[in-house]
Structure 1
Amino acid sequence: MKMKKKITKRILILIIAVIMITLAGCQSKGPVGKTSTKINVGYLRVPNDEMVAKTTGIFDKYFTEKGIECNFIVFDSGVDANKALASGDIDFATMGDTNGIIAFSRGLDVELVWIHEVLGKIEALAVKNDSNISRAADLKGKVIATPFASTSHYSLLNYLKDEGIQDEVQLMDMQTSDIVAAWERGDIQAAYTWQPTLGQLLKNGTVLVSSEEMANKGYVTANVCLVRKAFSDQNPELVADFIKCLSEGGDAYRSNPQQSAAAVAKELGISTEEALAQMEGSKWLTPEAELSSEYMGTPGSPGAFAKIMKDTADFLQTQKSIDVVPSQGEFDQFINSEYLELSLKK
């Protein structure tokens, strides 16, 4: 009898241990809501809805005040942000849609959950005032700088192609901070880049063509938000809250542009007037516009932006920026509007 009792007791202990391990596994792997107490956000120093949300306390309302730490990390371009996404060092990342395509084509387990803004005058090809460049043909033989694999690079390549001079210029891959230094030294006469770097170049330069003009020709570019699927699967409510912050940042700008510009200007170290001009240089989308057929679409009904990304990917492959082009169906899945819809219910 004593032996049987000991065996029974051991079996009970083993069963309880197995149940506890199983429950722990379920808690760590399933989409069980707000399990994270910290989010790492990779962002660009550009005047967009994310910057408004960051500088006006919107992120604090949704995260900090609930005991969730927001760790913001600046990236000069999407190239470095993609490396951080791949290593798991960041959960969210803002980047140009071209870098989002590169991330997806290279197998990063990420999804696109928000379009920050459709790029317009905020991004352009600037030429120096003393360069004697007033039209595309004048660029022949010149050095043009741009961050490779960026939205600027994509727009520049298409501009040069359309003008038939893609083989008659020298392109240099430069980070935005390096572009300013090279411009001031006189190493380059032209550069395709974005604000606030563009504003520094235009103090001694003019715009030859902007991304607004390129978009009107069919070459649409945008800044987008990617999230690691390992994070979004685990924390769908946090992703919805994050999108809610971006949405409210856009609302704050639309309701009081001057106040939003002032907050952004302080962060970027520029004047309120400069910040406002830069913010007006792109198209900020409302959640309703995001979910429209023109952009993200709704779950099960992909919008036109997925087709734009596929077309852009085809072009990037011709430029050897990517090796593999995902299918249209894969791009349709890559753009996930479920979290946006969830955020609208909050």
Structure 2
Amino acid sequence: MKKSYLKKLFLLFIVAALALTLTACGSDQAQNDSSETENTAAQESLPEEINFGILRVPNDETIAVAEGFFDDYFTERGIEVNTRVFDSGVEANQALASGSIDFATMGNTNAITALARELNVELIWIHEVLGENEALAVKNGSGIETVEDLVGERIAVPFASTAHYILLNVLKEAGIEKDVQLLDMQTAEIVAAWERGDVKAAYTWQPTLAQLLKSGSTLTDSREMAEKGYITANVDVVRKGFSEEYPELVADFISALTKAGDIYRSDPEKAAEIAGKELGLETEVALHQMRGTTWKTREELLSEDFFGTIDQPGNFAKVMKDTSDFLQNQGSIEESPSQEAFNEYVNPEYIKMSLENEENN
């Protein structure tokens, strides 16, 4: 009996041990399955690709592309980065409307058009405040030496652009807005018309402006007009469908632009060399164009002069509203959105998130 009893105890011990082993294996497998599920879910939460609409200008975005900063933030996480170059914000808005791009760089006047057309985007960044890089050029030998001398002339300009907005105000201040003919042309068309002799004056931006100034001079520029209160800038907008689903990626986009901007702030010549190589410009030319604009840091953009905060919107929303009202009066847009709409449109949250991410890392 005793031997039989011990045998039963031994068998029970073996059975219990096997049960514990199987339970542990099952638990480990469950944890592994759970971990794999979480990793898969994390990967599924990222988009397969991000599509950027960019302008061919020497700015922070051009440097970020050239230096591979977008690859650091996106490609290495399995997100394909695609860039499309647009000649103007008009084309970028068309792409935004079709959903073929997620981010787009454009002049702030086109960003106003995007809001007025209810494209469901939001303004998240200011690349540069425009200055000498946008100007009213007149051809050598044309006899045009002052703005008033433009009476009876044809002036080329991309309509609904920052250049168009500034030109209209230049003509208005001179009192000759009804005495000239404006021609709606994209930048490449302006150069061709200039070289053919079809136009003697044009308001455009770099690098197109540099081509015109080989045989011309400037009457005024956006820096002079900014001093009179007519502020223009190249900005970035994002589709809300993207930003609402991937707010961290929008913050990462701003972080990449900040890294690029820091290169310019610490070493302008190096930044010009990078941007010039990317755009096919000589370093000196790129540097001259870059120095014709003002690049702001994240901290500066969060000040009351620009984005401000969600509770206390900054002055840039007011600039946008004032510009919008002018564009409506000129017939460029049918209806000017309300100040409340612009306060919501100029969104500082992603800049703030970018700063917080850096502080936490």
TM superposition score normalised by structure 1: 0.90
Work out the CA distance in 2 between the residues paired with 1:55 and 1:313.
34
Alignment of 1:111-126 (within 5 A): 111-126=122-137
Letter in 1 for 2:194: W
Residue segments in structure 1 that go unaligned for 5+ positions in a row: 1-26
Q: Is the 8 A contact 1:43 1:94 kept in 2?
A: yes
Q: How big is each residue's C-alpha offset from its partner over 1:193-239, in whole Å with a ceiling of 9 and x where there is no partner?
A: 00000011011110100000010011000000000000000111110
Question: Does 2:242 correspond to 1:200?
Answer: no
Aligned counterpart, 2:326: 315
Compared CA separation, residues 298 and 203, structure 1 to 2 (3 A): same
Give the aligned partner of residue 181 of structure 2.
170
Secondary structure of the equivalent of 1:172? Answer: strand
Per the alignment, residue 88 of structure 2 pairs with 77
Equivalent positions of 1:249-264 (< 5 A) are: 249-264=260-275
For structure 2, list consecutive stretches of 5 or more residues without a partner in the other structure: 1-40
Structure 1 segments (4+ residues) deviating >3 Å: none
Select 2:227's aligned residue among 205, 216, 240: 216
Q: 1:184 aligns with which of 195, 198, 206?
A: 195
Contact kept, 8 Å, 1:297 with 1:304, in 2: the verdict is yes
2:12 counterpart residue number: none
Letter in 2 for 1:294: D
CA distance in 2 between partners of 1:294 and 1:276 (Å): 26
| Distance in 2 of aligned mates of 1:75 and 1:85 | 12
Match of 1:272 in 2: 283
Matched, 1:235 2:234: no
Alignment of 1:292-331 (within 5 A): 292-331=303-342
Deviation at 1:34, TM superposition (A): 5.0
Q: Match for residue 46 of structure 1? A: 57
Q: Summarize deviations over 1:242-266 as a string: whole Å, max 9, x none.
A: 0111111111111111111111111
Counterpart amino acid of 2:232?
T
Q: CA deviation at 1:328?
A: 0.5
The 8 Å contact of residues 46 and 79 in structure 2, kept in 1 or not, is answered as: no
Q: Distance in 1 between matches of 2:167 and 2:53?
A: 25
The CA deviation at 1:271 is: 0.4
Asked whether the 8 Å contact 1:34–1:237 carries over to 2, the reply is no
Residue of structure 1 equivalent to 2:111: 100
CA distance in 1, matches of 2:352, 2:201: 42
1:255 partner amino acid: S
- Corresponding residue for 2:27? none
Residues 111 and 228, structure 1, Cα contact 8 Å, conserved in 2: yes
Q: Counterparts of 1:339 and 1:136 in 2: how far apart (Å)?
A: 42
**Offset at 1:345?**
1.7
* 2:158 paired with 1:147: yes
Paired residues of 1:34 and 1:238 also in contact (CA < 8 A): no
Kindly indicate whether the alpha-carbon contact (under 8 Å) linking 1:33 and 1:235 is maintained by their aligned counterparts in 2: no
* 1:64 Cα offset (Å): 1.7
Query: Partner letter of residue 104 of structure 1?
Result: L
Q: Could you tell me which residue of structure 2 aligns to residue 289 of structure 1?
A: 300
Amino acid at match of 1:63: F
Question: How far off its partner does 1:62 sit?
Answer: 1.2
Tell me by how many angstroms 1:37 deviates. Answer: 2.5
Instruction: Pick one of 53, 60, 69 that aligns with 2:71.
Output: 60
Mapped partners of 2:47, 2:335: distance in 1: 34
Distance 1:262 1:33 in 2: 39
Q: Which amino acid is 2:97 matched to?
A: A
Q: Partner letter of residue 172 of structure 1?
A: L
1:329 Cα shift? 0.7
Structure number with larger C-alpha Rg: 2
Using a 3 Å threshold, how does the CA distance of structure 1 residues 235 and 190 change in structure 2: closer, same or farther? same
Alignment partner, residue 340 of structure 1: 351
- Aligned AA (1:70): V
Counterpart of 1:182, as a letter, is A
Residue type of the alignment partner of 2:285: E
